[in-house]
Amino acid sequence: MASRTVAKDIITLRGSAAIVSEFFGYAANSILYNRGVYPEESFAKVKKYGLPMLLTQDEGVKSFISNLTAQLSEWLEAGKLQRVVMVIMSKAANEVLERWNFSIETDSDVVEKGVSREKSDREIMREIQAIMRQIASSITYLPCLDEPCVFDVLAYTDTDVPVPFTWIESDPKLIANPQMVKLHSFDTKIHKVDTLVSYKNDEWDEQ
């Protein structure tokens, strides 16, 4: 029994990349659902991280997120991914309303020397749970999105990474004078993910 427990707690670079990329997939679905980017009826409930989670049933979005997580996993395993940003924009004006920013720190020793790290699976799940709960409660601290919206995902990689043919170079889609809310982070001991959401400051708030 003891050896089985130890084996479960060993985190490899590939295993960590899988945990983090899978997190991004579920986080993206949760943001799209909780921010009302797609209709409620287009999501189905599943259980993940010990929580009820919602996954899109829209085939186009499912394919986009699946391809996204596969590419992120590849970059994470190579130690080349610095940040992922999910951007929510107004459909009519293409104005950026929210930026969900996930910053990634990678243990360079693991990438360069192939060593592993140790951390309880349960502890990682608890940390991810805390972020997912904050995303689910985002309606309590973010302005209501009362117009049709679209989303995009930006990936910040090391400069020596070639741009995949399904991706294009992009501007950072920043928000002028944004309000910011820092969310929880999680750490696999190989990849640490810090989460921050910035959003457009309603003009009437400043008057």
Domains and CATH numbers, the chain: 9-200 (3.30.900.10)
Q: 199 - beta bridge partners?
A: 98, 179
Give pLDDT, residue 5.
44
Pairing of strands 43-48, 10-11: unpaired
Give pLDDT, residue 165.
60
Give pLDDT, residue 24.
98
Contact 119, 13 (CB under 8 A): no
Tally the residues of the chain.
207
Q: 191 - beta bridge partners?
A: 106
Tokens of 206: 């400043």
Kindly give the confidence (pLDDT) of every residue in the chain, 207 residues in length, as a single tens digit, with 9 standing for 90 and above: 444 444 457 999 999 999 999 999 999 999 999 999 999 999 999 999 999 999 999 999 999 999 999 999 999 999 999 999 999 999 999 999 999 999 999 999 999 999 999 999 999 999 999 999 999 999 899 999 999 999 999 999 988 877 776 666 777 888 988 999 999 999 999 999 999 999 998 754 444
Give pLDDT, residue 122.
94
Pairing of strands 191-199, 117-118: unpaired
Tokens of 2: 């003891």
- Per DSSP, the residues of 40-83 read GGGEEEEEETTEEEEEE--HHHHHHHHHHHHHHHHHHHTT-EEE
DSSP 8-state class, residue 140? G
CA–CA gap between residue 129 and residue 189 (Å, rounded): 17
Give pLDDT, residue 170.
74
Task: Report which of 104, 117, 109 is spatially closest to residue 186, judged by C-alpha positions.
Answer: 104
Give pLDDT, residue 148.
96
Give pLDDT, residue 184.
97
Pairing of strands 191-199, 96-106: antiparallel
Task: List, for residues 170-187, the tens digit of each pLDDT value.
Answer: 778 889 889 999 999 999
Give pLDDT, residue 131.
98
- Per DSSP, the residues of 146-184 read -S-EEEEEEEEE-TTSPPPTT---------SS-EEEEEE
Backbone angles phi, psi at 32, to 5 degrees: -60, -40
Task: Report which of 108, 62, 61 is spatially closest to residue 82, judged by C-alpha positions.
Answer: 108
The amino acid that residue 160 corresponds to is D
